[in-house]
A and B are shown apart, each in its own frame.
Chain A
Amino acid sequence: MEKERRWTEKYRHLLQAFYFAFTNGYARGYTNGMIFTGKSKYLCVPGLNCYSCPGAIGACPIGSLQAILGSNTYRISLYVSGMLALFGVFFGRLVCGFLCPFGLVQDLLYKIPFPIKKKNLPAHNQLKYLRYVILAVFVILLTSLIHDVTGTGIPWFCEWICPSGTLLAGVPLMILNPEFREAIGFQFFWKMGILLVIMLGSVAYYRPFCKYLCPLGAIYGVFNPVSTYRLVIDKEKCVNCGSCQKACLMDIRTNQTPNSPDCIRCLKCVSACPTGAIDSSWNIARSKFESRLLSEEENSPNPEVTKTTLLAILTIIAGLATMVSTFKYNLDGVLVYHFSGLTSGRGVLAYMLVTLFKGIVSFFMIITGYKLFINRNDENAVHRFREQTRMILKFVIIIVIAGIASLFADLSLLSVMFNAILICPFPIIGLPLLASAASSTDKLVQGKGSAVLWWIVFVLLAVVTSYIAYISTVIILAG
């Protein structure tokens, strides 16, 4: 575990860089001086990442919040606030430590050798509340209350403060786009001044923007004590040596306030603790889960029965999902096509064949699943199941062949055939995997390969459940 802790701290900057590259990965923007316009911008990224950065593939949460607050249609933002709360309740300020691009910039600047290296600015204890003032005044109040002639609020924080926007969007766009360069005025120099002060300050002081100015950090900090990711102190191990506070560049007495709103979860304290008294809630939960799994393995009377039951339930669910999708959509579709004469005769025939085979496959899946369930205590049940799934697989192969053959018959049926095959992915993808899982019966509890197979089975269970939920929703909505 000690090794793991050190690993996390050591590679934090690599994770930050990787995430930065991922969320700002629209390479074309850096060549043509324009921004990404894809649908991923419906979603906010967790960190302070300007949506006008040429590479940004998501929306900035603070920018989006101001856009809604200042909009003359909404005034109150449920969507963005909900997303901020969700990020906050899952990660808290772990976002600041691991996922914020401007945090990475400040981290790197602090690594530059400089004669004066200090953690905090003078009057740190008063200044740290400034970020709440900025959130309340610049992000919420001014944007909500002051409107221009069109009734739209101005994003005050973005306009007058945000150094992340200046660095990630302003500077690259000014370099790449001559039209923007022509429009430079006082406001740009003001923002550049703020950026320079913060960047120069970051060389001497650790993350001054995060400590004193960031409204996003202020929001996430509120969630630190209740987020799923928390730091936990083992009071029996803690010897009150103060190593955690010495290591903490945010200057937090971690052993007393492990979930302070100021903590950005850089995990330096975890590495610095000589007795290993500080751990994260995620790590503890994982350890508990692993030990529970081990004890269950030891106490379980027969893990094979549990495994067989799970396989049976999965197969029945998959069969039901396939049947519902087949008879709700495909047969309906065939009748509509048939009576409206939208496709050629051969097309309808191929479509009907696929539907018929899918119906048979789903029927066999339910039957084999049911038989496996009632014979779950029988040692040979899983092996018989494997034989039966082979039979089902033959049907699936016929479906695929029919699909390919129909393409030769009529190329215009491409979309119809793809739809018909893709709408029931589980028998095509899931059953061979289930059969493989079943075939490694003796290795399912131990062994690397079997563990991977089990993970696949669990993921497929999630897929099928979502699939059924989706179908049920569509059916309910369709009345």
Chain B
Amino acid sequence: MSEKKRKTITISLIVLSLVMIVSGAVRGEPFAVFNKAIKVCMQCIGIG
């Protein structure tokens, strides 16, 4: 892979991931993550 092509892919991926994060945040996904993360996950600790 040429250096120019690799750089283009890297920058496109950074932009895409930022767009995804912002879109997800607008949809309210961080609240779902937060709500899951602040409660003890029974499946994770093995008593699911």
Residues of A within 8 A of B (CB): 34-37, 39, 41-42, 44, 50-52, 58-60, 63-64, 67-68, 71, 73-74, 77-83, 85-86, 88-90, 154-155, 158-159, 162, 165-166, 169-170, 173-174, 180, 183-185, 187-188, 190-192, 223, 225-228
Taking the complex as formed, is B6 at the interface, i.e. its CB lies under 8 A from any CB of chain A?
A: yes
The residue on B at minimum CB distance from A82 is B20
Q: A68-B29, A165-B41 are in contact. Are A63 and B36 (CB under 8 A)?
A: yes
In the complex, A64→B9 CA distance in Å? 26
CB distance from B3 to the nearest CB of A (A): 10
Q: A79's contact among B6, B21, B43, by CB below 8 Å, is which? A: B21
Supply 18 further A-B pairs (C-beta < 8 A) apart from A42-B33, A155-B44: A35-B38, A39-B34, A41-B33, A51-B41, A59-B36, A63-B41, A63-B44, A64-B36, A68-B29, A78-B24, A79-B23, A80-B33, A86-B17, A159-B44, A165-B46, A173-B40, A180-B47, A190-B46
Contact of A51 with B37 in the complex, beta carbons under 8 Å: yes
Residues of A within 8 A of B34 (CB): 39, 41-42, 59
Contact of B45 with A82 in the complex, beta carbons under 8 Å: no
Residues of A within 8 A of B41 (CB): 50-52, 63, 155, 158, 165, 169
Contact of B44 with A158 in the complex, beta carbons under 8 Å: yes
In the complex, A152→B25 CA distance in Å? 21
Q: A52-B40, A74-B27 are in contact. Are A85 and B13 (CB under 8 A)?
A: yes
Residues of B within 8 A of A158 (CB): 41, 43-44
Q: B36's contact among A51, A173, A227, A228, by CB below 8 Å, is which? A: A51
Q: A79-B30, A158-B43 are in contact. Are A187 and B48 (CB under 8 A)?
A: yes
Contact of B19 with A82 in the complex, beta carbons under 8 Å: yes
In the complex, A22→B8 CA distance in Å? 34
In the complex, A190→B43 CA distance in Å? 12
Chain B 1-21 near chain A by CB (<8 Å), digits 1 or 0: 100001001100110111111
Contact of A89 with B13 in the complex, beta carbons under 8 Å: yes
CB distance from B32 to the nearest CB of A (A): 6
- The 26 listed contacts between A and B (C-beta, < 8 Å) are A35-B40, A41-B37, A41-B38, A42-B30, A42-B31, A51-B44, A60-B44, A68-B33, A71-B32, A78-B21, A79-B25, A80-B29, A82-B21, A89-B14, A90-B14, A155-B41, A158-B41, A162-B44, A165-B45, A166-B44, A166-B45, A170-B44, A174-B45, A180-B47, A185-B47, A225-B6
Residues of B within 8 A of A52 (CB): 40-41, 44-45
Residues of B within 8 A of A58 (CB): 37
CB distance from A104 to the nearest CB of B (A): 19
Q: A51-B41, A169-B41, A226-B13 are in contact. Are A79 and B33 (CB under 8 A)?
A: yes
In the complex, A89→B19 CA distance in Å? 14
Residues of A within 8 A of B24 (CB): 77-82
Contact of A68 with B48 in the complex, beta carbons under 8 Å: no
In the complex, A188→B9 CA distance in Å? 43
CB distance from B45 to the nearest CB of A (A): 4
In the complex, A400→B23 CA distance in Å? 42
In the complex, A83→B34 CA distance in Å? 14
Residues of A within 8 A of B44 (CB): 50-52, 60, 63, 155, 158-159, 162, 165-166, 169-170
The residue on A at minimum CB distance from B5 is A226
Residues of B within 8 A of A51 (CB): 36-37, 41, 44
In the complex, A185→B6 CA distance in Å? 50
CB distance from A385 to the nearest CB of B (A): 38
CB distance from A63 to the nearest CB of B (A): 6
In the complex, A211→B45 CA distance in Å? 23
The residue on B at minimum CB distance from A78 is B24
Q: B10's contact among A44, A60, A190, A227, by CB below 8 Å, is which? A: A227
CB distance from A35 to the nearest CB of B (A): 6
Residues of B within 8 A of A86 (CB): 14, 17-18, 21
In the complex, A169→B28 CA distance in Å? 27
The residue on B at minimum CB distance from A184 is B47
Contact of B29 with A77 in the complex, beta carbons under 8 Å: yes
Contact of A78 with B45 in the complex, beta carbons under 8 Å: no
The residue on B at minimum CB distance from A89 is B13
In the complex, A159→B47 CA distance in Å? 8
Residues of A within 8 A of B9 (CB): 226
Residues of A within 8 A of B14 (CB): 86, 89-90
The residue on B at minimum CB distance from A84 is B17
In the complex, A121→B24 CA distance in Å? 40
The residue on A at minimum CB distance from B23 is A78
